[in-house]
């Protein structure tokens, strides 16, 4: 069984490697970036590749899920989510953060799709259950 294609943007090295190790050990393919600009570039590169090769993820999207840290250098998670959704409104996006959920409720009003929130700290099982 082919795993999920997951794009992760996380500037905390330890959390980034936790995503990478956990998800790859479960058979998923993870593209890990450490800031918002690199994440957006990785998304656009994958989108171009998908159109050329027709190799979509299980969801029919370039990535089955995009996980964005809320606070990152260069572009924060909300900025990246807005740009990805403007390119592809069907892309599943999860934003993770240690900030209060109220911030996400307010920000969610600016998106045309419901944002999925992963509140830090979270357990590995919480992440796995949300993704799978």
Each residue's pLDDT tens digit, 62-73: 899 999 988 888
Per-residue burial over 49-86, b if 16 or more Cβ lie within 10 Å, else e, is: ebeeeeeebeeebbbbbbbbbbebeebbbbebbbbbbe
| Residue 63 included in any domain | yes
pLDDT of residue 1: 44
Count of structural domains within the chain:
1
pLDDT tens digits along 69-106: 888 888 888 888 889 988 888 899 988 876 666 666 66
| Residue 60 included in any domain | yes
| Residue 4 included in any domain | no
pTM confidence score:
0.85
- Domain holding 39: CATH number? 3.40.50.2300
């Amino acid at each position: 069984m082919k795993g999920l294609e997951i794009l992760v943007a996380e500037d905390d090295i330890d959390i980034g490697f936790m995503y990478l190790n956990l998800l790859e050990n479960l058979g998923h393919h993870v593209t890990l970036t450490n800031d918002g600009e690199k994440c957006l570039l990785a998304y656009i590169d994958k989108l171009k590749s998908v159109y050329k090769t027709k190799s979509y993820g299980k969801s029919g999207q370039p990535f089955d899920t995009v996980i964005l840290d809320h606070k990152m250098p260069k572009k924060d998670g909300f900025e990246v989510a807005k740009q990805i959704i403007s390119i592809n409104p069907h892309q599943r996006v999860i934003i993770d953060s240690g900030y209060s959920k109220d911030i996400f409720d307010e920000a969610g009003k600016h998106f045309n799709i419901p944002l999925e929130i992963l509140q830090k700290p979270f357990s590995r099982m919480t992440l796995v259950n949300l993704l799978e």
